[in-house]
Amino acid sequence: MIAVEHLIGLVRNYNPKSDEKLLRAAYEYGREMHEGQFRQSGEPYFSHPAAVAAILAEQRLDDSTIITALLHDTIEDTRASYASVAERFGSEIADLVDGVTKLTNLQLSSTETQQAENFRKLFMAMSKDMRVILVKLADRLHNMRTIRSMRPEKQLKKARETMDIFAPLAGRMGMQWMREELEDLAFRVLNPEARLSIIRRFLTLQKASDDVIGRITSDMRHELRKARIEAEVIGRAKKPYSIWRKMQEKKIGFSRLSDIYGFRILVQEDAECYAVLGAIHQRWRAVPGRFKDYISQPKSNGYRSIHTTVSGRDGKRVEVQIRTQAMHDVAESGVAAHWSYRDGVRSENPFAVDPAKWIAGLTEQFDAEEDHTEFLEAVKLEMYADKVFCFTPKGDVVKLPRGATPIDFAYAIHTRIGHACVGAKVDGMRVPLWTRIKNGQSVEVIIADGQTPQGTWLDIAITGKARSAIRRALREQDRDRFIRLGRELARAAFEHIGKKATDKALETAARHLRLADVDELLARLGSAELSARSVTGAVYPDLVADEGDEIGMDTAVIGLSADQSFERARCCQPLPGERIVGITYRGRGVVVHAIDCHRLAEFEDQPRRWMDLRWQEGKHAAAYDVTLDVTIGNDAGVLGRICTLIGEQKANISDLTFVDRKPDFFRLLVDIELRDAEHLHSVISALEAESDVASIARHRDPERAGAADQIEM
């Protein structure tokens, strides 16, 4: 356990004016409250709050945050109360401890509706005082560092929650070091074999190439001395999870991965950053498309740095980050830099972002979301997205997530511009609206009077702001017609279960489905955004639960005309619940693709063949085959257990092909018949939990095609 003297020493190193008496009192009070409590490792429980406080002290945070860390579990787990903490340490600290307690009680990995509501509460807590989330992140970091003492099933739950929520949140706040450590600790639990494999390959590579980091560091220092620039050069290998993610994104093996080394160059003045960039590019060849200037265009969390990738020794690609020491302090601490102390006073770092403005900018994007699933979608898009910087024709900068399209750009300018968009030019060239914008490009939106948003735009836009505005506009179009149709559908649905669609029943359904009023319910029902089954189920769940009606394949897709039939594309095997698009063929056949299918690129210059489609909501028949790529241990009974697990998930195996046989592992392709994307997730989750399954992934083959793909247009 970290001793009180050690903790006080850590704090006094950066804050000689720290209230030592109050810190000592908080330490003793926390230890007294947790007396007799132990962690699963057998250590005294108070060792955990003390370690969390030390993590925050390493970030040079203020006394209130350190004391909150020492007391963060007292209100929840001991006889201490808000009143007793406020009486001893003041209302500010009591509020912080209470805020951390409420965050701890949020089940962030629960069902989607609950998860969305809890994300709202998370942002609300952050908006009151950002230090609450700083303590919670440090709490999660220490729990992940000591996760081996937990039960295996709890390890998996905590690791997934960390990878999905806390690591991206730390990154969004600019605390990149914490994001990387959280990701790597979670990766160790979720995929230990992959992590160990990368470490082994990395050690082999280091042995073969000697001290490549040391040699490149020495080369860079030599070039900077020649240019008479005083700078600190730091080299490092990237974390195992970062390497694994690059392998997955680029679909390449470790041997083909190039930029696995990173170098950081620290200088004193802003102008020296550009002088360093010139010296580096003069000595090594820059890799095209890998340059980012976050000094002239900082990130919203205050991050500033120049990023470039160059071909170094032996043709190895290395990433170089160039920044001043002040920029580096913010890059290490992110939004937390606002509370950072140095020599007893609040650090006056000119690059530290105001937390109130940061959280206001983050939450503003989600205020317009009208339901839980849309809010959750917007949150996850923004938390995980990297940024691209593009320009208006006048030279104004627009920040968008990576993968954004001209539709997102138009709505980022103004909702009115988005609604009226009919086309776009990128760098002066007319491009399709689904074009992905790249860093540094100039975008011009072409608008026309009378234009209204199209349903297909939902499959093109990726920002929460654009998608929310498009949904609202589409709902407003033909709203009266949808309400009339929805009322008729509701009447028939209620009669089907022997009930009447009274005003009271519809009001009850709207309230349970968290919709504004009955008109909104009927409009969504009429536009097929809501199924009749979900409406009746909201009022009479027992009656609807007994119904066994399933949606057949003949009525599964919405958007086809009466004389059109469809088939699923074999290349991407789309499932109900996934976003889809149709491509028409001669003879009125339609092939349905997943919106992210690579083969859609073949039809970019044929927009007339695209159809806006979506799956019918409700319970689908288990008739949609999907191929899984599974690697299992070569032991007796393993294949039988895998087949049993799939059967327990009510999925049928229609085919099984061995792709590779090794002495210790088999790799096979398994075709299974599923209901929807959620059913697929259940099967994969069940197989991932099996210790003899080394890896599992959905198999998509761009070379496979549907029958209609063989017919010429």
Residues that are catalytic? 76-77
178 near 139, Cβ under 8 Å? no
DSSP 11-62: HHHH-TT--HHHHHHHHHHHHHHTTT-B-TTSSBTTHHHHHHHHHHHHTT--
668 near 694, Cβ under 8 Å? no
- Whole-angstrom Cα distance, residue 527 to residue 178? 45
User: By C-alpha distance, which of 380, 266, 402 is closest to 331?
Assistant: 266
CB within 8 Å of 78: residues ≥ 6 apart: 33, 34, 37
DSSP 598-647: GGGGGGTT-GGGEEEEEEPSS-B-S-EEEEEEEEEE-STTHHHHHHHHHH
- Whole-angstrom Cα distance, residue 116 to residue 376? 5
Can you read off the two tokens belonging to residue 584?
């028409």
DSSP 131-173: HHHHHHHHHHHHHHHTGGGS-HHHHHHHHHHIIIIIHHHHHHT
- Whole-angstrom Cα distance, residue 235 to residue 360? 36
CB within 8 Å of 300: residues ≥ 6 apart: 353, 358, 361, 362, 399
160 near 152, Cβ under 8 Å? no
Which amino acid, residue 519? D
- Whole-angstrom Cα distance, residue 300 to residue 359? 10
DSSP 554: G
Helices 192-208 and 240-250: crossing angle in degrees, nearest 10, is 100
Counted residue by residue, the chain has a size of: 713
Burial of 498 (0-12, 13-18, 19+ CB in 10 A): exposed
CB within 8 Å of 504: residues ≥ 6 apart: none
